[in-house]
Structure 1
Amino acid sequence: MTGPGLTRAIGVISGTSMDGIDVALIASDGEAQVETGPAATFPYPPDVAARLRAVVADASEAERPQAALERAVTDAHVAAVDAFFARFAIARDSVALVGLHGQTILHRPGRVGWEGRRPAAPGARDAHPPKAGLTRQLCDGARAAGALGIDVVCDFRSADVAAAGEGAPLAPVYHAAMAAGRERPLMILNWGGVGNVTWLGRAGEIVAFDTGPANALIDDILLSRRGVAFDAGGALAASGRADAAILAALMRDRYFDRPPPKSLDRNHFAAAAAAVEALGDADAAATLAAFTVEATVAALARVPEAPKRWLVGGGGRLNAFLMSRLADRLGVPVEPVEAIGFDGDAIEAQCFAYLALRARRGLPLSFPTTTGVPAPTTGGVFWPAPR
């Protein structure tokens, strides 16, 4: 792989589910041309994953400096990239750049509670602009670049948040590149720990936002009650019955009343776990699965036109129960992104390789209709490898 004008880059991310470190290789110009290469997921060292879960569960702790944990997270990501090179026999000097997202431990966008208003037009003044929020991804870019011997781009979200954007989602510009030439309107859904959608319009419009819970709530319940990481295929949820009263109460969360752009911290819906505490395992899983589906369906009220097709990435696409329930509710095709030739486990890692290339070219990573930032905004911090 590597056509004329394309640069090889590796992307690395561990999502909010913290179930592993995803690594993927692409070749791209950072615009319309994308060639995908191999991808793989590598486990976190168990002690690092446990420390991360403890910090993520305590927002006050997540706000404090985490130097030792950041070093451990960075080293785990470097080890994953080294293992990736070895597994696929990739020459290190054939890769120009690594986009290293790091591990999100806190995401608190400043736009929350901003009365649901659209951002002002670029250049316009707003009497009551939103305040900048706080987003924290653990990643030591200098340490990673030194260990890998490859230039690194990290800290992708801070520039957007500093400009009063949501800081998420950042995948929409990559989704648009993936879907070049496809019939629109089209929706690309990522069901990771949190769900997010990218709506692609007929005239090239992009609207994106977080939909609500995806796998995180169900995963947490299964881990705490049964000691397993996830509900394989949705089998447990399929065997239970969703509690209609609890589901209705969960869907009254004010987040669903907000128009996009909007994004979520992984723990925003933590009360859902308490709501299903009295339910048996199967009914709790069924209720949280129904919540994931209904939160996703609610996205239709926030896009200009109903999409003709949904393409799904992330671990949720492997949950047959969630996929069938969503298709039933939408009445249009709901397919894994493999239907258009992409690896649904690799998209987010590919995305950060792509965004790293865009960042080096000074191209925007986020837009008013994706994060609510006032104008198209680039981002990322560049750390050159020692020469």
Structure 2
Amino acid sequence: MSALYIGLMSGTSLDGIDGVLFDAGALAVTGHVHLPLAPALRDELLALNTPGDNELHRAALAANAVARGYANTVSQLLEATGTRRDQVAAIGAHGQTVRHRPDGFDGYTTQLLNGALLAEQAGIDVICDLRSRDVAAGGQGAPLVPAFHRAVFGLEGEDAAVLNLGGISNLSLLFADGDTGGFDCGPANCLMDGWIARHLGRAYDADGAWAATGRVSPALLATLLADPFFAQRPPKSTGRDLFHLGWLQARLMPGLAPENVQATLLELSARCVADALRAQMPGAKSLVVCGGGAHNGRLMQRLSDLLPGVSVDASAARGLPVDQVEAAAFAWLAMCFKTKRPGNLPAVTGAAGLRLLGALYPA
């Protein structure tokens, strides 16, 4: 079986599709492309995070559009790397999360993607719907990346953590004794992106520049951090179901300047990570950061400020650029499926046991 896999990821930040060619034997990325989402599709995926009219039809059309975007990403990746389709063992495709409600007897998680259409257009086996089996086993279905982070970033004899800053932040805890933990911390970019889009019409706050013009509101920060999610112990996961502009609007105080709200949202993103890391891994020596939020210099600086004694570095310093890590993780999960290895960690997700993750759509 080929050791080459393709990983495809479009996260809660809705900034685009990342595709990587991943050598599972060497645990190395050998090619990467990024395609932005068409604005109309981005808007529709964002709208589908909340209840609306004719959702089933709209969701099916969006799933088709995601599949076509993924197939285009695969074609460009193969061309850029000079790789034939028959050299790739499988595609690990995340899909676009529009609902994530894993708790309880009727828990579920929904990632929009027409896997059959992607297999048809890509001509490569597709493994997708990677979260549902863990949820069916009583787990959160997230995060699924800690086992991959252990394989790529783990350091012998040292407590280390890996932080993904997408729309939502999640931590992987790589303990010195070999144990691995992980959970979602709270909002990373989703609230900041939504707020700047509303007030300045920009997709994101480049380098935290707008936040830097404001002042943190201690009262608003305390109100936001009072949400029960932050006090909840792992295993736990979240998404735009909870953290959206409506959630923020319900907690705003009158008279706050928009830039002060943005500054407070950035502080919230840093605080919820720092608080969680201190509570769950007080002996952490290093924090490896990946995801789009790692490009936000002000957010990275606040993490360093709030975590004295912890080395905070972007994942590129460990050999894997920040925009490639999650896509590589889903290529690795496809490899786990193909080789019949469990992909989840029950200690992380709370599932009843180890499970083979994903559904196969053959080419």
- TM range, normalised to the smaller chain? over 0.9
1:295–1:262 distance in 2 versus 1, CA, 3 Å: same
State whether structure 2 residue 327 is matched by structure 1 residue 349: yes
Spell out, residue by residue over 1:13-51, the C-alpha distance to the aligned partner (whole angstroms, 9 max, x if none): 10001110010111114xxx5122111210112221121
Task: Decide which of 63, 68, 86 is 1:70's aligned counterpart.
Answer: 63
The aligned residue for residue 12 of structure 2 is 16
The aligned residue for residue 81 of structure 1 is 74
What TM-score do the two structures reach when normalised by structure 1? 0.88
Q: CA deviation at 1:376?
A: 1.6
For residues 330 and 54 of structure 2, the distance between their equivalents in structure 1, rounded to whole angstroms, comes to 27
Give, as a single letter, the amino acid of the residue that structure 1 aligns with 2:283. Answer: A
For residues 312 and 347 of structure 1, the distance between their equivalents in structure 2, rounded to whole angstroms, comes to 10
For residues 260 and 61 of structure 1, the distance between their equivalents in structure 2, rounded to whole angstroms, comes to 35
Contact 2:33/2:73 (8 A) holds in 1: no
State whether structure 2 residue 272 is matched by structure 1 residue 272: no
State whether structure 2 residue 81 is matched by structure 1 residue 104: no
The aligned residue for residue 92 of structure 1 is 85
What TM-score do the two structures reach when normalised by structure 2? 0.94
The aligned residue for residue 205 of structure 1 is 179
Give, as a single letter, the amino acid of the residue that structure 1 aligns with 2:63. Answer: E
Alignment of 1:184-203 (within 5 A): 184-203=158-177
For residues 357 and 47 of structure 2, the distance between their equivalents in structure 1, rounded to whole angstroms, comes to 29
Q: CA deviation at 1:304?
A: 4.6
Q: CA deviation at 1:195?
A: 0.2
The aligned residue for residue 21 of structure 2 is 25
Give, as a single letter, the amino acid of the residue that structure 1 aligns with 2:293. Answer: G
Contact 1:132/1:163 (8 A) holds in 2: no
* Aligned length in residues: 359
Spell out, residue by residue over 1:315-366, the C-alpha distance to the aligned partner (whole angstroms, 9 max, x if none): 1111111111110111021110111111110101001000001012221111
Q: Which runs of 5+ in 2 are unaligned?
A: none
For residues 61 and 24 of structure 1, the distance between their equivalents in structure 2, rounded to whole angstroms, comes to 34
Alignment of 1:120-139 (within 5 A): 130-139=104-113
Q: CA deviation at 1:181?
A: 4.0
| Structure 1 range deviating more: 98-107 or 76-85 | 76-85
Give, as a single letter, the amino acid of the residue that structure 1 aligns with 2:151. Answer: A
Alignment of 1:32-47 (within 5 A): 33-47=26-40
The aligned residue for residue 266 of structure 2 is 289
SS of residue paired to 2:344: coil
Alignment of 1:93-172 (within 5 A): 93-110=86-103, 130-172=104-146
Spell out, residue by residue over 1:193-217, the C-alpha distance to the aligned partner (whole angstroms, 9 max, x if none): 0000000011110010000010010
Task: Decide which of 265, 269, 293 is 1:316's aligned counterpart.
Answer: 293
Task: Decide which of 193, 212, 226 is 1:219's aligned counterpart.
Answer: 193
Contact 1:109/1:161 (8 A) holds in 2: yes
1:304–1:44 distance in 2 versus 1, CA, 3 Å: closer
Give, as a single letter, the amino acid of the residue that structure 2 aligns with 1:360. Answer: K
RMSD (Å) for aligned C-alpha atoms: 1.9
Contact 2:157/2:177 (8 A) holds in 1: no
For residues 334 and 59 of structure 1, the distance between their equivalents in structure 2, rounded to whole angstroms, comes to 41
Q: Which runs of 5+ in 1 are unaligned?
A: 111-129
For residues 25 and 273 of structure 1, the distance between their equivalents in structure 2, rounded to whole angstroms, comes to 41
Give, as a single letter, the amino acid of the residue that structure 2 aligns with 1:384. Answer: P
For residues 241 and 107 of structure 1, the distance between their equivalents in structure 2, rounded to whole angstroms, comes to 33
Q: CA deviation at 1:282?
A: 1.5
State whether structure 2 residue 358 is matched by structure 1 residue 384: no
The aligned residue for residue 305 of structure 2 is 328
For residues 359 and 193 of structure 1, the distance between their equivalents in structure 2, rounded to whole angstroms, comes to 26
Using the aligned pairs only, state the percent identity.
37
Contact 2:161/2:173 (8 A) holds in 1: yes
Contact 1:100/1:154 (8 A) holds in 2: yes
For residues 324 and 259 of structure 2, the distance between their equivalents in structure 1, rounded to whole angstroms, comes to 30
For residues 6 and 91 of structure 1, the distance between their equivalents in structure 2, rounded to whole angstroms, comes to 12
Q: CA deviation at 1:94?
A: 1.9
Q: CA deviation at 1:89?
A: 3.0
State whether structure 2 residue 41 is matched by structure 1 residue 48: yes
State whether structure 2 residue 344 is matched by structure 1 residue 370: no
Q: CA deviation at 1:68?
A: 1.8
Contact 2:96/2:112 (8 A) holds in 1: yes
SS of residue paired to 2:94: strand
Give, as a single letter, the amino acid of the residue that structure 1 aligns with 2:348. Answer: T
Q: CA deviation at 1:69?
A: 1.8
Q: CA deviation at 1:146?
A: 1.2
For residues 250 and 332 of structure 2, the distance between their equivalents in structure 1, rounded to whole angstroms, comes to 39
For residues 286 and 154 of structure 2, the distance between their equivalents in structure 1, rounded to whole angstroms, comes to 14
1:146–1:11 distance in 2 versus 1, CA, 3 Å: same
Contact 2:101/2:108 (8 A) holds in 1: yes
Contact 1:132/1:164 (8 A) holds in 2: no
Task: Decide which of 277, 292, 296 is 1:300's aligned counterpart.
Answer: 277
Q: CA deviation at 1:93?
A: 2.3
Contact 2:99/2:241 (8 A) holds in 1: no
Contact 2:67/2:114 (8 A) holds in 1: yes
Give, as a single letter, the amino acid of the residue that structure 2 aligns with 1:137. Answer: Q
Q: CA deviation at 1:174?
A: 0.7
For residues 186 and 9 of structure 1, the distance between their equivalents in structure 2, rounded to whole angstroms, comes to 27
